Amino acid sequence: MIVTLLLLLVLFLLIGVPTAFALAASSMAVIWLEGIPLTIAVQRMTAGVQSFPLLAIPLFILAGSLMNASGISERLFTLTGALVGHIRGGMAYVNVLTNVLMAGISGSSLADCAATTRVFVPQMVKAGYDKGFSVGLTASAAVLAPVIPPSILLIIYGWQANVSIGALFLAGILPGVVIATALVLTVAYMTWRHGYGRGADFSWRALRRTFFGASWALLMPVIIIVGFRMGIFTATEVAAVAAAYAFVVGLFVYRTLNIRELPAIFSSSARDTSSILVIAATAAPFGWILSVGQAPQQLLALLTSITDDPMLTFLLINIILLVLGTFMETLVLIIILVPIMMPLINTLGINPVHFGIVMVVNLVIGQLTPPLGVLMYVACGISGTSIAEFIRAIKPFLIALIIALLVITYIPALALYPASWMH
C-alpha cells in the first residue's frame, strides 16, 4: 500500500501534475485499489482543514500583505542601512538584518526572498558586489522567515503535531538569531576575501529619523511575542490583531495604504490561503493511508536497526529531512511527515517543540538547492542569474546554514528556553 502510494505520487509529480492534485489522485487511487469506499477520501479532506488554529494562516498572510503594501519593507531597508550600512561590506549586513526584521512580519520565505531580491541585488551589484554573492546571500537570508515568528510553517506543524503554536513561535526566536549570526560571520569572511567596501558614513541623525519612521512596523513582532507571553492572545487571535494593526498603521499612521488597493490585497491573500489549505486538505487522506499502512512503525524499525543512539538517530533524521526538502514542497512534507515522525520523536525522548524548529530549518534549507529549490528559482528569476552561477555562490552560505542547523539540533535549550516562557 505505502509503496504504491509513494510511487504514484512521484509519477504524478514527474509528469507535472500540481502537488495538491498529485496528492489527491495518488490517495484516491490507493483507496480504490484497496477496496475502501472513496467517501473516506472526502471525509479525510474535510476533516483535514477543520481546525481552529488554521484560521491564523489567512490572517497572517493578510497582515503581511497589508504591511508590504504600506511600504513597510522600504522603511526597514532604510533603517538597517542607517544602522550597519557604514561597516565594510555594509550592504551585505543590511541584507541579513533586513531579513531578520521582515521575518517578524511576513512569515513567508518566498515573499521575503522576492521583496529583498528586487531591492538588494541591483543595489549591491551597483555598489561593486559580485552578483552571485548578492543573490546567494539574499536567498539564504530568506530562510529566516519561517523560523522567526510569525511563521506559517510553524502553524502547520503545531496543528499536525498538536503542539502549542505560541510555544513554537517563541521557540523560533533564538534559532533565528543563530542562523542570522552564521550568515553574518559568512558575510564577514566573504567581505574580507573579496575586499568589499563601506557604505555611507554613520549618522546618529539618520538613525534616529529612520528608527522613528519604522517604529510602527517594528512593533508588530513585539505585539505578537508579548501577546503570547502574557497569555492575552491565542495564535488565531494574535493573527487577527496583527492584520487589524497592519490595516490601521498603513491607512491612518503612514497613510501609504490606498483604500483602492484593498480588493487586490484581499484577493491575493485569498489565493495564497487557498493554495495552502487545498494542499492541507489533499494531504490529509495521503497521511491517513501512511498511518493505516503503519509507516511510522516501519520508519522507527528502520532507524533503530541502524543505530540505537538518540544523537546519531537525530543526525539521520536531519539528513533525511534535508534530502526530502530538496525534492518536495516544504508545506507538503510537514503535513505528510509529522504524523509519521511523531512516534519516533516520542520514542527518542525529543521534545516536539524542539523538533518542530529543527524540522522547519531542515526543510527551508532544502528550498535553496536543486531540483525543487523554490527560493533558488525565485531569486534567480527576479535577478536574471543563472542556476549554475547561483549554485556556485550558495556553497558558503549552505555550509553556514548547516552548521547553524547542527547547533540548533544539539543545543535544544536554544528552542526550549524561550518556549518555557509560555509557562
pLDDT under 70 in the chain at which residues?
Answer: 197-200, 228-229, 296, 421-423
Per-residue model confidence as pLDDT tens digits over 340-360: 888 888 888 889 999 999 999
* Residue 13 is assigned to a structural domain of this protein: no
pLDDT at 186: 94
Q: Give me the phi and psi of 16, to 5 degrees please.
A: 90, 15
Domain count, the chain: 1
Q: Say what the pLDDT of residue 35 is.
A: 85
DSSP for 90-118, written as a single string: HHHHHHHHHHHHHHTT---HHHHHHHHHH
- The answer as to whether 164 is a domain residue is yes
Residue span of the structural domain in which 363 resides? 37-422
- The reported pTM is 0.84
Alpha carbon of residue 186 to chain centroid: 21
Is 235 within a domain?
yes
pLDDT at 240: 84
CA 172 to chain centre: 11
The predicted structure's pLDDT at residue 200: 64
Residue 156 located in a structural domain: yes
Is 32 part of any domain?
no
375, part of any domain: yes
Is 88 within the bounds of a domain?
yes
- Yes or no: say if 145 and 111 are a contact pair by the CB < 8 Å rule: yes
**Does 6 map to a domain?**
no
